[in-house]
Structure 1
Amino acid sequence: MSSRTKSDWPVELRGVTESIVTTLGPNELWNVAALGLHTGNPVTAKTWGNTRTRRNFHRQGGGVVQFTHDPVDFVDATLSIREEEGAILDSADAWIEVEAERVDSGESGGTNWEQWELTPVESEIRTEHVPTVNRGFSAIVEATVAVSRLDVDAYDTAELRARLDYFEEVARKCGGERERQAFDRIRELTEW
């Protein structure tokens, strides 16, 4: 729909917005991987372990972040080694080429991580509406399902409460202000 060169993102980011990133590997193929975008100015992302994305960021200094509605592409990006001849997936509703600069590193739970500052270079919006995936919002949806089943005999209350604790942690960590407010409302409206 529109292609532009500017220094902003083609979608609204909040909390941790999930995306797919392609990075050019030494074999001249584009590695496809999931990448959580941390809202801020600048937008940042972390790579965990010795991944292809981390190595390609070091080699190439960037990649192409994509927003897609295709759940299969997201699963493949997250759980498999997928390489493509082109940088942009057919399912991408929008994409943005970014420069990636390492700004921090550390270790957590025995895994090394690196934090990257992502600077927009060029972007394209390919559809009228570009959906984004925010883990905080997804946790809210799952929490409402769990809460609705608390008083149903067919469900284990202790298991549902453990799920709710987990969903609250995800919503508060990965969501934006509205997701945090939504979880506050869940607590206000339920006996959980």
Structure 2
Amino acid sequence: MSDHDPDSDDDRGESGDGDENDNGAPGWPVDLAGVTESVVATLGPNGLWNLAALGLHAPEHDDRPADAPVRARTWGRTRTRRNFTERGGGVVQFVADPRDFVDAAATVREEREPVLDSADAWVEVEVERVDAGERGGTEWVDWHLRVTDAAVERTAVRTINRGFGAVIDATVAASRLDVPAYDTGELLARLRYFADVVDRCGGPAEREAFERLREASGWESRDHGDDADGEYRDGGRGDGHRDGDDANGR
């Protein structure tokens, strides 16, 4: 991948050669099942890589043939959608640091290089727009992702705790606070629950990640009846959907 220094990490793995993984998706260095959470980097017109959270739909999850392309859905007129359209691809990466995931999901984060230090593996993809529509007043676009290059950066055992999962789900709830189709009170109740899980079960990284989400979304001020601007996800689009997540899937 031309935009990432191949000598930057001593533990860089071998590049993908297009072989199929056990999941049947050609070229992917990891097994994909259901909707796999990832961070995608797309090159913007300013020459910087924009980071956003992106759900990857395994073919079997959508009742498609096992060797069909991985599918992703973008919601709204986001930077990811724009860059996919103008550049025709991006770099999908799998990260285990909840702080990087929150930054991608709830803030505007741009980097000079596409691959984060916390990425366990990355996949350079070409994208093809295959469908589009509207739900709840928000436009969506479906993309097929095809691998052009890939690498495994590290194979160390990563442990997880309940706090990690709570952080991921909390980014979904926070992104939907301004969508009329979702009940604000219910979403705030979920966020209070996730905050409790992170406090009880999360480690330092999860707690720091959740604090970043608090600051980015302002959900606690809204929970106390104050007005919050509701600008979340992928640069403050406020459309209430996570890239790659169906509106009724969370």
TM-score normalized with structure 2 length: 0.53
Counterpart-to-counterpart distance in 1, 2:85 and 2:73: 13
Q: Does the C-alpha gap of structure 1 residues 55 and 111 become closer, same or farther in structure 2, counting only changes over 3 Å? A: same
1:128 aligns to 2:155 (yes or no): yes
Rg larger for: 1
Choose between structure 1 and 2: higher strand proportion.
Answer: 1
Counterpart-to-counterpart distance in 2, 1:75 and 1:96: 20
The corresponding residue for 2:86 is 59
Counterpart-to-counterpart distance in 2, 1:121 and 1:57: 15
The corresponding residue for 1:93 is 120
- The number of residues matched between the two structures is 142
The one of 87, 92, 103 equivalent to 1:76 is: 103
The one of 7, 11, 18 equivalent to 2:37 is: 18
Aligned residues: percent identity? 58
The one of 14, 20, 23 equivalent to 1:2 is: 14
1:29 aligns to 2:41 (yes or no): no
1:39 aligns to 2:51 (yes or no): no
Query: Structure 2 unaligned runs (5+)?
Result: 1-12, 19-25, 60-67, 170-185, 191-245
Counterpart-to-counterpart distance in 2, 1:173 and 1:24: 28
Counterpart-to-counterpart distance in 2, 1:8 and 1:117: 14
Q: Do 2:94 and 2:121's aligned partners in 1 also have CA atoms closer than 8 Å? A: yes
Q: Do 2:72 and 2:144's aligned partners in 1 also have CA atoms closer than 8 Å? A: yes
Q: Which runs of 4+ in 1 moved over 2 A?
A: none
RMSD: 2.5
Counterpart-to-counterpart distance in 1, 2:80 and 2:157: 24
Give deviations 1:104-149, integer Å, cap 9, x for gaps.
0000000000000000110000111587x9xxxx59xx9xxxxxxx
